[in-house]
């Protein structure tokens, strides 16, 4: 990955999309975990994390917002492990949890590593978990400390984090993603933020025997069985005019000779369109095998890399401000995501050195679901066992049941385990019992919004009925809206104080102008009130810079933004809307002076910060 100066770097090509499309309902978080044969010691796990993290620079970052792109900045805080108390793969807020983009938790005998997809993919996370587990076992069994394995380290002794997409980019004819709408899994949603996790344990030898009888690989067999399960369990074995689309991530490292710890994968769509009631599993397997043989080859994957990177390189996309990219990327992602019914990701075998194998029972791989893909499947193996994990927010488990029953019918023994959400699935007490009502706070906030809206309507009716000349209900409605903005952006969100000041300033200006107009408009809002709010924001940002001298760069962009805003009253004066410009002139002079002082005092650090914030 291309590094920037002084402790920051750009996001890799794939990572650029994740901060833009992520929210609390679409976390883009996945989990790799290891189950030991002994209870986890939290103190030793914390020590193990602190020991290995210096070797894993790709994870020692926090996400920052630039003008054109997000970027990673070195994070020298110490991450804290936590006891697992929530459902897997929950949203990782980049503004909390010491601003790290991963989460290490434990529960009884299991160690969990949950990762925001922007920093790495499944293989990168597996490398992290392997080193963390190995160090933990060294501490718990008093063996000699070993640094991470040399084959996973770059020339600096730190794991490589290059952008292998750019390195392997070749200009060629591009082929875009399919946007044809695929069949979507429907059904009753689980209550609150519950997530249903079902693991299926099968012997690798049994699975290989079955695959050899069909002449296919394990991934081909599992993909076909997933399509077959959707066709039979969800579509009742009948065509519905829609395609069953499986989103299949492909690890590109071995194909393109890369050892990067950053993202380096491509997604391939495997599709099957039922057109009759008599399709057989063997027919689907043959079609899946054909498509995978055609699509999962270097030439096709090179086309995919070419298409993704070429979009990033287009000059008109590079110069778009981040908020414009945010809108466009979300529209494009929603259009592309509808082409998939669900995701199957097989990260292959996870192995530790032989001396540590005796302490390990198994690994798991869990993928966070999304609004459109309400069920996903993650696969990994450990020793002679393969673990197939379904994560879902649907109450109905008939698809998962049909999948595992089909394996049993074909002679493959399957043992299942759940997290206690699905009925009829054995719960081995390896997951916490979730009793909290996380949505209660959100419900109260929604009730609060509803009450304020009703108040605004009632006040408007009273104002109309009483027939007063002044539309005082409009002022009241503006105050109510301002209160809602304050609740939403300044109290509920873990936002930077500078961001809160900006939102509050804009909200106050809108309210003041509205009040002036509703009272007959005398111009005091644009002549005095708006410049005064800008001046207040200026002083507040200066105060934050002084108080947070060690992290003053966090507020530089807000100072620049306020300085730009300060010219608005002057422009309004030139347009004839401001009739008394004294306050406007004072505000713009003060804002420019403060920005100059910050730049002069900051010297080289300001230049570095501007490079970070405005990199293309």
Question: What digits encode the pLDDT tens for the residues 296-355?
Answer: 999 999 998 998 898 888 888 888 888 888 888 888 887 778 889 999 999 999 988 889
158: pLDDT strictly greater than 60:
no
Beta-carbon-side half-sphere exposure of residue 407 (alpha carbons within 13 Å): 29
Axis-axis angle for helices 556-574, 530-547 (nearest 10): 160
Q: What is the pLDDT of residue 538?
A: 82
1: pLDDT strictly greater than 50:
no
362: pLDDT strictly greater than 90:
yes
Find the angle CA(185)-CA(188)-CA(193) to the nearest 5 degrees: 100
Q: What is the pLDDT of residue 331?
A: 84
Q: What is the pLDDT of residue 302?
A: 92
Q: How far is CA 103 from CA 129, 295, 507, 557, in A?
A: 11, 34, 35, 29
Between residues 375 and 516, which one has the greater pLDDT?
Answer: 375
Share of the chain above pLDDT 90, in %: 45
Phi, psi dihedral angles at 345 (to 5 degrees): -125, 120
Scan for tokens 């804002």, then name that residue.
Answer: 591
Alpha helices for 467-555 (secondary structure H): 472-485, 497-518, 524, 530-547
End-to-end, the C-alpha distance of the chain in Å comes to 14
145: pLDDT strictly greater than 80:
no
Question: What digits encode the pLDDT tens for the residues 215-269?
Answer: 999 999 999 999 999 999 999 888 888 999 999 999 999 999 998 989 999 999 9
Is the pTM value of this prediction over 0.95? no
User: 215: burial class by Cβ within 10 Å (0-12, 13-18, 19+)?
Assistant: exposed
SS3 83: strand
Q: What is the pLDDT of residue 597?
A: 82
Most confident of 161-165, 447-451, 458-462, 464-468: 161-165
SS3 44: helix
Domain limits of the chain? Answer: 3-167, 439-613
6: pLDDT strictly greater than 80:
no
| H-helix or E-strand spanning residue 399 | helix 398-409
Indicate the length of the chain as a whole number.
Answer: 616
Summary mean pLDDT of the chain: 85
Most confident of 59-73, 391-405, 511-525: 391-405
Most confident of 136-145, 346-355, 481-490: 346-355
- Tokens for 205, please give them: 């030898």
331 Cβ contact list (under 8 Å, min separation 6): none
| H-helix or E-strand spanning residue 20 | helix 18-21
Q: What is the pLDDT of residue 154?
A: 46
Burial 435-452 (b: 16+ CB within 10 A, else e): eeeeeeeeeeeeeeeeeb
Q: What is the pLDDT of residue 156?
A: 40
Pick from 33, 57, 50: which is nearest to 114 by CA?
A: 33
d(CA 192, CA 202): 32
Burial 411-429 (b: 16+ CB within 10 A, else e): ebebebbbbbbbeebeeee
Q: In CATH, what is the architecture of 3-167?
A: 2-Layer Sandwich (3.30)
Pick from 178, 348, 338, 347: which is nearest to 269 by CA?
A: 178
181: pLDDT strictly greater than 90:
no
Between residues 603 and 493, which one has the greater pLDDT?
Answer: 603
Calculate mean pLDDT across residues 518-545.
81
d(CA 368, CA 349): 20
Scan for tokens 């540590």, then name that residue.
Answer: 356
């Amino acid at each position: 990955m291309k590094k920037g100066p002084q402790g920051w770097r750009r996001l890799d090509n794939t990572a650029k999309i994740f901060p833009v499309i992520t929210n609390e309902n679409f976390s883009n978080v996945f989990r790799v975990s290891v189950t030991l044969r002994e209870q986890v010691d939290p103190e030793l796990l914390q020590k193990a994390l602190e020991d290995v993290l210096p070797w894993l620079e790709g994870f020692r970052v926090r996400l920052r917002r630039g003008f054109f792109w997000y970027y990673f900045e070195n994070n020298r805080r110490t991450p804290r492990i936590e006891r697992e108390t929530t459902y897997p793969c929950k949203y990782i807020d980049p503004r909390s949890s010491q601003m790290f983009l991963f989460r290490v938790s434990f529960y009884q005998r299991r160690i969990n590593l949950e990762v925001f997809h922007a920093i790495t993919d499944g293989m990168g996370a597996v490398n992290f978990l392997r080193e963390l587990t190995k160090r933990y076992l060294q501490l718990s069994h008093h063996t000699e400390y070993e640094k991470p394995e040399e084959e996973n380290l770059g020339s600096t002794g730190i794991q490589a984090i290059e952008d292998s997409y750019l390195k392997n980019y070749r200009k060629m004819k591009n082929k875009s993603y399919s946007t044809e709408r695929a069949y979507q899994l429907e059904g009753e949603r689980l209550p609150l933020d519950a997530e249903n996790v079902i693991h299926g344990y099968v012997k690798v030898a049994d699975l290989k025997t079955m695959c050899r009888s069909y002449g296919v690989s394990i991934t081909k067999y599992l993909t076909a069985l997933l399509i077959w399960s959707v066709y039979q369990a969800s579509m009742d074995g009948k065509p519905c005019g829609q395609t069953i689309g499986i989103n299949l991530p492909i690890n590109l490292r071995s194909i393109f000779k890369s050892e990067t710890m950053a993202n380096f994968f491509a997604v391939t769509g495997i599709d099957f369109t039922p057109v009759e009631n008599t399709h057989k599993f063997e027919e689907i397997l043959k079609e899946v095998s054909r498509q995978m043989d055609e699509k999962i080859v270097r030439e096709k994957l090179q086309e995919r890399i070419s298409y993704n990177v070429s979009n990033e390189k287009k000059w008109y996309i590079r110069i778009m401000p981040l908020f414009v990219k945010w809108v466009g990327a979300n529209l494009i992602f929603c259009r592309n995501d509808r082409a998939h019914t669900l995701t199957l990701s097989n990260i292959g075998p996870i192995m530790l050195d032989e001396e540590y194998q005796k302490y390990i029972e198994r690994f798991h791989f869990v993928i966070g679901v999304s609004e459109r893909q309400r069920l996903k499947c993650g696969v990994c193996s450990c020793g002679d066992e393969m673990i197939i994990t379904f994560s879902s927010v649907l109450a109905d488990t008939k698809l998962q049941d049909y999948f595992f029953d089909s394996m049993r019918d074909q002679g493959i023994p399957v043992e299942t385990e759940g997290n206690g959400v699905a009925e009829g699935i054995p719960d081995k007490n390896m997951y916490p019992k979730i009793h909290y009502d996380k949505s209660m706070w959100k419900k109260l906030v929604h009730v609060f919004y509803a009450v304020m809206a009703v108040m605004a309507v009632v006040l408007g009716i009273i104002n109309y009925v009483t027939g007063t000349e002044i539309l005082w209900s409009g002022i009241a409605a503006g105050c109510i809206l301002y209160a809602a903005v304050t609740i939403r952006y300044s109290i509920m969100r873990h936002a930077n104080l500078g961001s809160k000041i900006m939102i509050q300033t804009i909200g106050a200006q809108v309210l003041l102008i509205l009040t002036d107009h509703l009272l007959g408009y005398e111009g005091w809002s644009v002549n005095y009130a708006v410049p005064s709010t800008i001046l207040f924001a200026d002083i507040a940002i200066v105060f934050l810079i002084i108080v947070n001298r060690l992290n003053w760069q966090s507020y530089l962009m807000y100072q620049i933004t306020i300085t730009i805003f300060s010219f608005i009253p002057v422009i309004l004066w030139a347009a004839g809307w401001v009739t008394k410009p004294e306050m406007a002139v004072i505000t713009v002079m003060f804002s420019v002076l403060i920005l100059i002082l910050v730049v002069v005092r900051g010297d080289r650090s300001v230049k570095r910060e501007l490079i970070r914030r405005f990199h293309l």
